[in-house]
Chains A and B, each alone.
Chain A
Amino acid sequence: MLPAVRLEQITTAPSVLLVEDEVVVRALLAEELRGAGMQVTEAASADEAWAYLQAGGVADLLFSDVRMPGSMDGLALMRLVRRAFPAVKIVMTSGNIGPFDVGQFDGFLPKPFAFSKAVLIAAHLLGVEPPETP
């Protein structure tokens, strides 16, 4: 049973649920997204992300890797989120193109990708003013 917790949603900033099992990629991308004004929840697996959502966690956008350790991969998570939270935008990323239809996502980024590109896609989908490029 999930513990009773108060998941923090202190600001009204648009929220991103970032699911990535490579910790350095996850941490640095999360910093970039926060720097662009988004609230970011970091999950190291699809299972963790789903536990967060099931416990009442908020996300306007799911940004997830396809390949993931645990009981489900990013595609299974995407399908669950589509069913349970249809308003959530979904951006997937993968080192492999397929075997999946990228048209089912709101955005797809093949790996490796520039963090700035990920931020632009997220900002566009969330209606956030994108950061100025130096």
Chain B
Amino acid sequence: MTGPQCVLVVEADILVRQPLAEYLRECGFRVAEAVNAAEARALLEAGKLPIDLVLADAAADADAVFGFAQWMRRAQPGVDVVLAGNPLRAAEQAGEICNDGPALVKPYDHRLVLEHIKRLLARRR
């Protein structure tokens, strides 16, 4: 038996992270939270949560998040990555390292985030 799919939300601002995480939980996902790329990597390396997809804000610390996404590609190739933030800045880099291009912009539209996550995770089934 499989449980709900697990999304890791990486977002520095609690006032953005908490509402999005709660919305995704209400939609049936198991949601883990990290405030930055270092925390996200620590969570993934600990291997205690079966994370299926990472949604990371690339706006606050783009270099760290892109570095994290590149590490993900090498170390956790089975985990989908979605980057969000300023699409103009992120476009070139993110297009190469995330699963579906830099399609999410901030401020988040929760329903668009949900659709995006569902579309990506549906490919895994």
Contacts and interface: CB of A to CB of B under 8 A. Distances in A.
Q: Report if A and B associate in a common complex.
A: yes
Interface string B1-34: 0000000000000111011011101100010111
Contacts of A10: 22, 26
Interface of B: 14-16, 18-19, 21-23, 25-26, 30, 32-35, 39, 42-43, 46, 48-49
Interface string A57-74: 100000000000000000
B28 to A, nearest CB: 13
Interface residues of A, number: 25
Given A24-B43, A42-B33, A52 B14 contact: yes
A103 interface: no
A8 B22 contact: yes
A44 B19 contact: no
A109 to B, nearest CB: 20
B22 A5 contact: no
Interface in A1-53: 2-3, 5-8, 10, 23-24, 27-28, 30-31, 34, 39, 41-44, 48-49, 51-52
